[in-house]
């Protein structure tokens, strides 16, 4: 499990471009990161992971969830330019 450190404090919502909500969504989506956002300081650790590794790996930090198969089937006929 990743541990947070003093250097993680550099990775705030402002410096990383990742809000608290996005950090929470990031760990729900990628539990292999190994940090629990509920513990103090871990959001900054999540931000650090996203900046240093996640962006390059193409990981998604957005709060929105991926479409389910059913949602995708409904979406496509409505927006045929996709």
Give the C-alpha separation, 74 to 82, whole Å. 12
Average pLDDT over residues 35-43: 61
Phi, psi of 79 (to 5 degrees): -130, 80
pTM of model > 0.75: no
Q: Are 13 and 47 in contact (CB under 8 A)?
A: yes
Give the C-alpha separation, 57 to 81, whole Å. 28
Report helix, strand or coil for 4. coil
Average pLDDT over residues 11-23: 87
| Whether the predicted pLDDT of 1 surpasses 50 | no
pLDDT for the residue numbered 76: 65
């Amino acid at each position: 499990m990743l541990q947070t450190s003093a250097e993680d404090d550099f990775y705030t919502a402002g410096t990383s471009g990742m809000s608290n909500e996005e950090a929470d969504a990031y760990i729900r989506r990628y539990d292999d990161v190994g940090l629990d956002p509920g513990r103090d300081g871990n959001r900054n650790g999540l931000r650090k992971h996203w900046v240093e590794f996640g962006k390059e790996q193409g990981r998604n930090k957005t709060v929105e969830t991926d479409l389910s198969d059913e949602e995708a089937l409904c979406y496509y006929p409505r927006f045929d330019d996709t």
